[in-house]
Structure 1
Amino acid sequence: LPTVTNAYLGTRVYRDILHVNGVYNGAVGDTHRADVPSPVNVRMTVPSVDSLAETFSLDTRTGTFSHVLQSPDFAATHQLYAHHSLVHLMAFSITIHRSTRTARPITVQLQTPFVPKSQDLDLNQGPDFQGAHYVYGRTLVPEVEGGPRPTVHMLWTPVPQTLTLHGEEQEQSWQFLTALAQPFSGQQLSHPEGLACFPPGDARGFLPLQSLQLWRAPSPDGGPAEITLVRYQRVAGAFQCPTSQSHRLALLGCSQETWMFPNILLFYPEAARAILEYRIRTLAGALHNAQEQGYQGAKFPWESAATGREVCPEEIYGAQEIHVTGDVLMAFEQYYCTTQDQKLFREDGGWELVGAVAQYWCSRMVWSEEEQCYHIRGVMPPDEYHHHVDNSAYTNAVAQQSLNFAAGVARDLSIPVPEEWVDCAQKVKVPFDAEKKYHPEYDGYSPGEPVKQADVVLLGFPLMYPMSPEVRRNDLEMYEPVTELDGPAMSWSMFAVGWLELKEVQRAQSQLSKCFSNIMEPFKVWVENSDGSGAVNFLTGMGGFLQAVLFGYTGFRITRSSLRFDPAFPDDVNKLKVNGVSYLGN
C-alpha cells in the first residue's frame, strides 16, 4: 500500500505507526526512525449491507488516499492525507452521502487498533487539549552516547466506533486530526489551525492547495501510459524529501544527493537548500567519521541520521563506500551553479563543509611512484558486488570534481586555494583503457565481470566527467549487458539517460522499460529489486526514473556557465511540457 506523507509526518496506509523526520531511536548501527503509534490507522466498514462495492485510490496530485464503500442507497468515503503547509498535521475524514430518498439512518463502523504505546518511546498521558487527547514522551536510546533523546508530543481527535447519517440528513462529514511535533508550542498551534481548515460539514476544505501548487514536473503528451502514470506517482514520491519547512531527514545515504536532489533542485531550489543545510548541521559528525578512520577533513556517512555520525549497521559500507562524500559535494556544486547563492557559502556554513571535504580527499589519496599519480585505495564503488578495490573510476572522478569545485568556490570568495587541492585534482588516477577506449570500473576490472548497479555510467551523468561520445558509448555498451537484471531500478534510468545523450532513443526506451519491473501494483509502489525484495517505497529508484524523464528527454544539464537543453524524444511522445523550472532566480 502507498505512503501518505508531507515530508515531516508520514505513514503507510493501514499501518499502525507514524514516522516523524528527525526523531530517531537506537544507538549507532541500531539507529532508526522511532515508531510512533498512529491514530490515523482506521478502517471503515458497513456490515450487513448487500451489493456493496469497494474501491481504493490514491490521488497523487494531492497525496490523498481514498477508500469508498458504494451501495445503491449511499456512498461512504474515507480519505487520508497529510497537510503540506501545516506539516505537523495528518488527518482523515469520513463522508456519508445519501443517494436515494430513503429516510433510514446509515451507520458506518470505524475499526482502529490504536494504542498510545511505542517500543521506541516512553509515552505519558497528558491533559486533553481542545477536545483532543494528548501524549508525550522521549525516545529510549540516544544515537550516540550522551546525545539528545528527542521529545515527541502528539494530539489527536478521538475516533468513535460508529458514525451515523440520520434520516433527515443528505450528507455529513466528520474530520479527525493528528498533530505531532517535537516542540509542544508548534503542535498546539497546528491543531486549532487544522480544525479551522474545515468548512462546516465539508471535509474537502482541508485538502491543501499547497499540494497542487507543488505540482511541477515534466509532462509527456502521448507515449506509453505506463510512463505517464509512473511519472505522476514519482513526483508525489519526490516530496517525501524535505521542504523548506521540514528538513529533518530519515536515514539516508547517497540516495538523497545523487538520486533525489537534482529533481528537486530544478523546481524548488529553496527545498534543495534545506537538504544542503542538513549536511551543514551534521558536519561535526562527518569530521568525527574522518578522524575515526585516521583521515583529515569531513567524511559523510553511508547512512546518516541526526548527528552525521556513521549509523550503517554493516561496517563495510560505512568504511569503504566513500563516494557518498563526493556525492554530497556534487549536490552543493549543482545548487551553486543553479542559484549562484553565495550566502550559503559565505555566511551559512557551506564553505566550511566544502573545505573540509577537499581536505578529506587529499588525506585519502596516496602517491604512487610507479604510476606517478594519486591513488584512492580500499574502497567499495557504487557497484556493491565489489569491495576493497583500488581506484574506483567513479569514486576517484567524484573526488576530483570535489577538489575542482572547492578551488572554484574559493576563488569566487577570494579565499586562497591550497596548492594541494589543485595538485591532487590534477593527478588523481581515473582508470581508462586507451586501447578499448572505456573506463574500467576499478584497477584490475575484467570486461564481462558482473556488476550490481549503475557505476561507471554515472561518470557521464550526473557527474558529467569529460569524455568523447565514443567513450561514452563504449562505457554504456561495456556495462549494460553485465549489470544485474534484477538489481536496483535506478541503473536502467542512467543507461537510458546515456543513450538519450547519444540520440539512441529506442535503446534508451528499452532500458527505461526495465524500471517497470520494480513497480508494484496497484499503487505504483517502487521496490529496490525487481523480484520484490529489498527496500519498499524505494526513493532511489523513483529518483532515477524522474531523472530519466527530466534530464534524459529534455537533455537538461546544469553547468557552471549555463543550463543546457538538448531534447530527445521517443516517436510516441508528441510533446513534453516542463512547468516551473527555476534557474538563477528566474
Structure 2
Amino acid sequence: MTSESVDPYIFTSDSPPSDPRFLPPLANGLLGWRIFQDVMHVGGVYNGQGGDCHRANVPCPLAATVRMQEEGGHTYSLNTHTGVFTHAVHTASVSASQSFYAHRVHSNLLVMEVLLARQGTHEEPVTVWLDSSFTPQSDDIAFRTAPDYRGGRHIYGQTLVPEVPGGSCPSLHMIWTPLLTSLTLPPDQSRSSWTFLAAVSESDEGAKSCFDQGLQLMADGDLGPSHCRGWEELWLGCQVEVSGAERLNRAVIGCLFYLLSALPFLGQVPSQFWGVSPGGLSNGGRKEDYLGHAFWDQVRHTGSVSVINESPVSFGLWCMCVCVFVCFQDTWMYPTIALFYPTLARAILQYRVQTLEGAKYNAMRQGYKGVKFSWESAMSGREVCPEDIYGQQEIHINGDVIQAFQLYLYLTQDLEFFKKGRGGEVVWGVADFWTSRVTWSSEEQSYHIKGVMPPDEYHYDVDNSVYTNAVAMNSLLFAVELAEQMHLSAPPEWKEVAEKLKLPFDPQLQYHPEFDGYKKGTQVKQADVVLLGYPLGLPMSAEVRRNDLEAYGPVTNPNGPAMTWSMFAVGWMELGKAEEAQTFLKRCFENIQAPFHVWSESSDGSGCVNFLTGMGGFLQAVVCGFTGFRVKRMCLTFDPILPDEISELSLKGVSYLGNKMTWQVKEKELSVTLWEQAKDAGKRCPLKVVLRSGRVIPLCPGQTVTFPRESGEVRQRDFEF
C-alpha cells in the first residue's frame, strides 16, 4: 500500500511492488543497481559482439534483506532529496533499517548502512539476519579472486566477448566489505550501525583507491553526508515544481530524480561518458531493456523545410528559428538536461564525439559518405541493434543527433566545442551522409530519401518520411550556418540538397502525410508527424498544426511508447488549448508504476523498465509546454499556458547564455529572477526580456522582474554587466 508523504520528494509504501522490476533503481552516472537485485551494472562495461552486445551483469555484494525473529511492520521509502532508499522494520523490541545509495560524489562507491535501535526499556541483546544470495560470479565476466584488501574481498576480471572482432574486453575490479550473516545489538547499547561498501573500478589501483576513500569518509563521519550534499547541489540547480496538481508534481519530481541519477556528478564530469540508455544504468542486461544501448532517446530537436499552403518556407528563416529540443537520449532525455545543466549536456554530446569512428564505419558499410550514427550503440559506435532493419533504415537518428548539437550551441554559444572539441566534425559528417543518401527525382524536381523507417516503426522501406526528411534538411541547414559562424566555406551541395529536399504535404487536406503513399487513417505506432511542430519547430499555420494533431491522435496506438502523449500535449498547448493538452498529458500517468514512480515503456507495465525516454518526453511537456520555451538561434522564446488545476509552475536553474534563472508562471503574471551566481552555466552574457507588447526589461543579477503573463523572448543585451 502506497502512503502519500507530506513531502512530495519522498515516495513511501508499507510493501514492495508486486512486480520487482518496479523497485527503484539507484544510479550515479557510473554505477546502476535496482534495489535488492543480485546484479548491478557499470557504465561502459559491455559484453557480447554486435547484436548480442549488452551491459555486463556484475554481481552485487550488497543485495541483502533484513530478517527478524519477530514479526514487524515494514516501510519502504525512496528519498529523492538525497537519493537514499530505506527499508525499515519496526517491532516491539527493535527498529531495524537498511539504507542504500550509489554515492553521488564518489561514483565508484555503492553503500549499504544498517541501523538497529532498541525500542522500549528491555536490555536483552537483539539480533537480526542479513539474507543474501550473492556469489562473486558472472555470466559476462571471467572473475578471479585477488588477495583481500584492508578487510575487503577483491575480485577482478574481463568481459568474455569484445563488442567488435579483435577489440578489447573491458576490465573490472571490485572490492567490498563482506556481509555478516547476522548483526547483534548488545545489551548495553541502545543503538548501533554498520556500513558495507562496494568499490568498483577498471583497475586494481583504482579499486583500492576508491575503497580507501570510502573507508576514510566513514572514519570522518562523512560518507553519507557527502553523498547528500552532492544531491543537494544537483537539486539547487535543477528544480521543477507544480502547485495545485499534487500527482503531477510528484511525477515531475520522480522523472527528474531518475534522469539526474543517470548522469555524472557536476564537479566530476569524466572525460569519457557512455551516454544514457532507455532503461538507465540499472537495466540493460542480456535480452532486457534494449541491452543498455544508447540511441535516439538521447536527443531530438530541429526540423526542415516544408510546403505550406503551397508556398515554400524560407529556408534560412526556419533554420534560425528552429526549436531545438532533442529524441531517446538525444531526442527525449537530453533537452531538459541541456536547459538546466549545459556541462552535463556537453558530456552527453561527447559520447557522440567518442564514437565518431564507429559512425564513419557504419556509413562506409552502407555505401555512403560521412558518418551514420547507430540506431543502438555501445562503446565503439558501431551498430549493435539486434535487428538489422532498424540500423539500416531508421536513419533519422543522424538528424536527431545534430538537433542535440544545435540545441547546445544555441543555449551556450560555445563555439570552442565545435572548433576544438570535434563538434564540427560531427556536424560536417552528418551533412556529408545526407548528401550521399539522397536521390534526385527529375519528375518532381526534388531530392528524395528512399527506403527508410520513420519514428512510426509500424512502417518501413517507405520513401520520403516527412520526419526523416525534415531532420535531414535541418542538419544540412545547420551545417551551413555553423560553417558561416566558424568562417569556413560550406560545400554548395549542403544548401542545394536542403532547399530541394521533398517534404510531403497535402495542400487539399492541409496536413502532412507521414510518407509518400500514406493513407490517412492508417494506424501508427507513436509520435511521428506531430514532432514537426515540436520539437522540430517547423513553421506551419495553426490550421495545419491542428490538422496534424487531429489526423494522427485517433490512429496512434493507445498502448504505444510512453513519450507519445507528451508530444500531443505540447501540440495542443501551442494552439492555446490547455485542457485538451491535459487529457493527453494525464495519459502518461498510466505508465507510472507505484509506489516509487518507476516508468514502464507501455501502459500495461510491459517493455523497458525505468523508461527514461518516457520520462524525458513528459518533462518536456511540463518544462517546455507550460512555459512555451523554445530555444532559437538568437533567443529563448516563451509563451506560458497553464491548465485550470495548476496555480503555479516554478522552474529553478534555467540556463541560458551562461546565466541561471528562476521562472515562476502564475495565472496572470510571470516572474523571472536572474541568479547572482551561475555555476556550471558557461560564459555569462547580459540578458533582457522583450515582451510581445514591445516592453523591454533588463535582467540584472539578484533581481526579480514581474510582468503580466504574455509571450516574449529572452535575448542577449549589447553591453556587459
Task: Give me the TM-score of the superposition, normalised by structure 2.
Answer: 0.79
Structure 1 pair 416/122, CA: closer, same or farther in 2 (3 Å)? same
2:251 is the alignment partner of 1:230: yes
Identical counterparts, % of pairs: 49
CA distance in 2, matches of 1:261, 1:190: 30
Q: Once the 2 structures are TM-superposed, how far is the Cα of residue 204 of structure 1 from its aligned partner? A: 4.3
Hey, what's the Cα distance between the residues in 2 that align with 1:6 and 1:202?
A: 18
Number of residue equivalences: 584
2:262 corresponding residue in structure 1:
241
- CA separation in 2, counterparts of 1:251 and 1:284? 17
Match of 1:522 among 584, 595, 599: 595
Classify 1:24/1:176 alpha carbon distance in 2 versus 1 (closer, same or farther; 3 Å).
same
What residue identity is the alignment partner of 1:247? F
Q: How far apart, CA to CA, are the structure 2 residues paired with 1:395 and 1:508?
A: 26
CA drift of 1:220 comes to 3.5
SS of the equivalent of 1:154 reads: strand
Q: Structure 2: which amino acid aligns with 1:175?
A: T
- 1:351-500 mapped onto 2 (5 Å cutoff): 351-500=424-573
The answer on whether the counterparts of 1:135 and 1:153 sit within 8 Å (CA) in structure 2 is yes
Distance 1:371 1:300 in 2: 29
Are 1:34 and 1:120, in contact at CA under 8 Å, matched by a contact in 2? Answer: yes
Task: Tell me how far 1:221 sits from its aligned partner.
Answer: 3.8
Aligned counterparts of 2:636 and 2:433: Cα–Cα separation in 1: 30
Q: 2:633 aligns with which of 560, 571, 577?
A: 560
Greater Cα offset, 370-379 or 167-176: 167-176
4+ residue segments displaced more than 4 Å: 199-204
Q: Distance in 1 between matches of 2:570 and 2:244?
A: 17
- More displaced stretch, 217-226 vs 313-322: 217-226
Once the two structures are superposed, residues 211-246 of structure 1 have per-residue CA deviations (whole angstroms, 9 ceiling, x without a partner) of 122114453443332211111111111124332237
Distance 2:150 2:210 in 1: 12
- C-alpha distance in 2, partners of 1:8/1:214? 16
1:77 aligns with 2:97: yes
Alpha-carbon offset, residue 99 of structure 1: 2.6
Q: Whole-Å Cα distance in 1 between the matches of residues 533 and 242 of structure 2?
A: 28
The reply on whether 1:188 has 2:230 as its aligned counterpart is no
Distance 2:241 2:613 in 1: 22
Counterparts in 2 of 1:310-325, with a 5 A limit? 310-325=383-398
Match of 1:36 in 2: 58
What is the CA distance between 1:33 and its match in structure 2?
Answer: 0.5
CA contact (8 A) 1:31 1:143 kept: yes
Number of the residue aligned with 2:20: none
Equivalent residue runs for 1:126-145 within 5 Å: 126-145=146-165
Alignment check: 8 A CA contact 1:375 1:429 kept: yes
Aligned residue in 1 for 2:347: 274
CA contact (8 A) 2:241 2:252 kept: no
Asked if the contact 1:242/1:248 (under 8 Å) is kept, the reply is no
For residue 111 of structure 2, give the secondary structure of its aligned residue in structure 1.
strand
Q: 1:248-301 deviations in whole A, cap 9, x for unaligned? A: 234111000000000110111111101111100100000110111111110000
Q: Point out the more displaced range, 157-166 or 176-185.
A: 176-185
User: Who is 2:30 aligned against?
Assistant: 8
Cα contact 2:570–2:625 (8 A) shared by 1: yes
Aligned to 1:56: 76
Deviation at 1:188, TM superposition (A): 2.1
1:207 Cα deviation (Å)? 3.7
Which runs of 5 or more residues in structure 1 are unaligned?
Answer: none
1:446-491 CA-to-partner distances (Å, cap 9, x unmatched) read 1111100000111111111121222111111111111110111100
Letter in 2 for 1:251: H
Q: Does 1:254 align with 2:300?
A: no
SS in 1 for 2:474: helix
Alignment partner of 1:24 is 2:29: no
Change beyond 3 A, Cα 1:221–1:317: closer
Q: Matches of 1:433 and 1:325 in 2, distance apart?
A: 26
Tell me the distance in 1 between the aligned counterparts of 2:226 and 2:126.
24
Letter paired with 2:47: N
Query: In structure 2, what residue type is equivalent to 1:28?
Result: G
SS in 2 for 1:452: coil
Asked if structure 2 preserves the Cα contact closer than 8 Å seen for 1:61 and 1:232, the reply is no
In the aligned structure 2, how far is the partner of 1:193 from the partner of 1:201?
Answer: 12
Cα distance between partner residues in 1 of 2:607 and 2:41: 20
Render the CA deviation track for 1:51-75: whole Å, top value 9, x for unaligned. x101111112222111000113321
Work out whether residues 243 and 649 of structure 2, in 8 Å CA contact, stay in contact via their aligned partners in 1.
no
Deviations 1:372-398 (A, max 9, x none): 000000000000110000000100000
SS at match of 2:380: coil
- 1:214, 1:333 → 2: CA distance? 25
Say if 2:62 and 2:179, in contact at 8 Å, map to a contact too.
Answer: no
Secondary structure of the 2:648 match is strand
How far apart are 1:22 and its partner, in Å?
0.3
RMSD in angstroms over aligned alpha carbons?
A: 1.4
Could you say what secondary structure the match of 2:183 adopts?
Answer: strand
* Contact 1:93–1:203 (Cα < 8 Å) also in 2: no
SS in 1 for 2:340: coil
- 2:41 and 2:658 map into 1 onto residues whose CA distance is 34
Q: What SS does the corresponding residue of 1:466 show, helix, strand or coil?
A: coil
Secondary structure of 1:385's aligned partner? coil
TM superposition shift of 1:97: 1.2
Match runs of 1:284-323 below 5 Å: 284-323=357-396
* Matched AA of 1:501: E
Query: How many angstroms does 1:201 deviate by?
Result: 7.6
Q: Which of 149-158 and 65-74 deviates more?
A: 65-74
Q: Structure 1: how far apart are the matches of 2:507 and 2:171?
A: 58
CA distance in 1, matches of 2:474, 2:432: 13
The separation in 2 between residues aligned to 1:480 and 1:189, in whole angstroms, is: 55
Bigger shift: residues 189-198 or 87-96: 189-198
What corresponds to 2:233 in structure 1? 213
Q: Is the 8 A contact 1:486 1:530 kept in 2?
A: yes
Native 8 Å contact 1:174 1:201 kept in 2: no
Contact 2:110–2:199 at 8 Å: present in 1 too?
Answer: yes
* TM-score between the two structures when normalised by the length of structure 1: 0.98
SS across alignment from 1:481:
coil
Equivalent-residue separation in structure 1 for 2:122 and 2:629 (angstroms): 59
1:503 aligns with 2:576: yes
Unmatched segments (≥5 aa) in structure 2: 1-22, 276-291, 298-328, 660-721
Provide the rounded CA distance (Å) in 1 between the counterparts of 2:260 and 2:88. 26
What whole-Å deviation, never above 9, does each CA across 1:114-156 have from its counterpart, x for those lacking one? 1111000010111111211111000000000011101001010
Cα offsets for 1:320-343 (capped at 9, x unmatched)? 111011100100000010011111
- Name the CA distance, whole Å, in 2 between partners of 1:313 and 1:31: 9
